[in-house]
Amino acid sequence: MTYDRLVCANCAAPVSEGRCPVCRANRERLQQERDNFFAGLNPMALIALLAVLIAAVALLAHQTA
């Protein structure tokens, strides 16, 4: 979820505006999560990504041998 659609329970303003300290803290946290791609993935998605990478490397190693 993006912070531009969230409404703060503390001040009832959009979090993206950052009117109160709670808004500003949540806006900063959400921006950090957005900047780190792997932080937004759940563990099963990371495992699936790792499995795909291992299969691709194995396929490339098999073709070159």
Coil/strand/helix, residue 55: helix
For residue 3, give the nearest of 36, 27, 37, 33 by alpha carbon.
27
pTM over 0.75: no
Length reported for the chain: 65
Overall number of domains in the chain: 1
Task: Please list the ranges in the chain whose pLDDT falls under 50.
Answer: none
Give the Cα separation of 13 and 10 in Å (integer).
8
Query: Could you tell me the sign of the dihedral formed by the alpha carbons of 8, 10, 12, 13, in that order?
Result: negative
pLDDT value at position 49?
92
pLDDT the model gives residue 12: 87
Query: With pLDDT > 90 as the criterion, what percentage of the chain qualifies?
Result: 31
Q: What's the pLDDT at 6?
A: 82
pLDDT at 50: 95
Give the structural domain span for 35: 3-64
Cα separation, 6 vs 22, whole angstroms? 12
